[in-house]
Amino acid sequence: MQLLSENLAGSKTIANGTGGTVGKAVSHKRIRTTRAFGVGDKLSVKVYKAMKRDIIRGVHPTGEPLTEKELAKRYKASRTPVREAALRLQEDRLLRIVPNRGYFVSPITLQELTDIYEYRAAVECAAAELAARKATDSELLQKLIELSETSYQTDSIESYMEFIEADTIFHVGIARLSRNQMLIRAVSEARCQMERIMYAAIDIHYFGEVPTREHREIMKAIVDHNPDAARRHMHDHIVQSKGKVLRLTGSSGVA
């Protein structure tokens, strides 16, 4: 996968997977994924989960057609489950289906990047505020406090990949504390796009600063039942993240 390469050269596309460094790492670590398939999942669901995971992690390049035949072979399925999975991935805005040409991984443009962060600010700030008001799950609270201390080694791709998984569990966990199913779903969807951005960063060896201080502040506000502080700290955290990514793309201005 190639991170922000076109954008750093002046293009408006920032996430452009090409199956590079992280793609190879994912191939070696695939058996360790924590997103295991359910035993009762129908084949199309299993293919959907596997394709989604691979798109997020940059295994499939953007701009190059993926055929049903190739995908069926890769995911050990017939064409029908692949077709059903592709339709779901198109709804997720991770894949484009072009008649008579094939499937294409959707790129993330600068405009879409801005949309993602605006969406995150709306749903995750609301989730943090509600979590501070409604959180009662002591076990989940303790788990998120521990996750807020998660760090990584900047010279270790595997360490950073483990951080990405922990970061997603942390943010979705805060939504779970809100006890609002629509917010949980919204945050989960936003994390799919964020993981794509984070995995893409690996190929230019950018891992970013470890956000442990920001995560601690969010959790302290939630534990203290301070909804205003929880919202403010989550907003600051998202703005900081957006600023770092936009600086990588050569863009400016953080809303």
- For residue 128, what are the contacts with CB-CB under 8 A and spacing of at least 6? 174, 178, 218, 221, 222, 227, 230, 231, 233, 234
pLDDT profile of the chain (255 residues), mean per 10? 38 49 52 42 90 93 89 95 95 92 91 94 98 96 96 85 95 98 96 91 72 96 98 97 82 40
Look at residue 6 and tell me if it is in a domain: no
161 and 226 in a single domain? The answer is: yes
48 and 132 in a single domain? The answer is: no
Per the structure, how many domains does the chain have? Answer: 2
- For residue 223, what are the contacts with CB-CB under 8 A and spacing of at least 6? 135, 141, 145
Cβ atoms of 249 and 5 within 8 Å: the answer is no
Look at residue 72 and tell me if it is in a domain: yes
Q: Which long-range contacts (CB under 8 A, 24 or more apart) does 30-36 make?
A: 34/165
Look at residue 4 and tell me if it is in a domain: no
30 and 100 in a single domain? The answer is: yes
Going by C-alpha positions, the residue among 41, 58, 43, 69 that lies closest to residue 94 is 58
CA-CA distance, 133 to 128, in Å (whole number)? Answer: 9
pLDDT at 177: 98
2-3 and 13-16 beta bridge pairing: antiparallel
Collapsing DSSP to helix, strand or coil, 131 comes out as: helix
CA-CA distance, 12 to 255, in Å (whole number)? Answer: 18
**Residue 143 lies in domain:** 110-249
pLDDT at 14: 52
pLDDT at 4: 43
Look at residue 197 and tell me if it is in a domain: yes
Q: Bridge partners of 97?
A: 103
- Token pair for 252: 């400016």
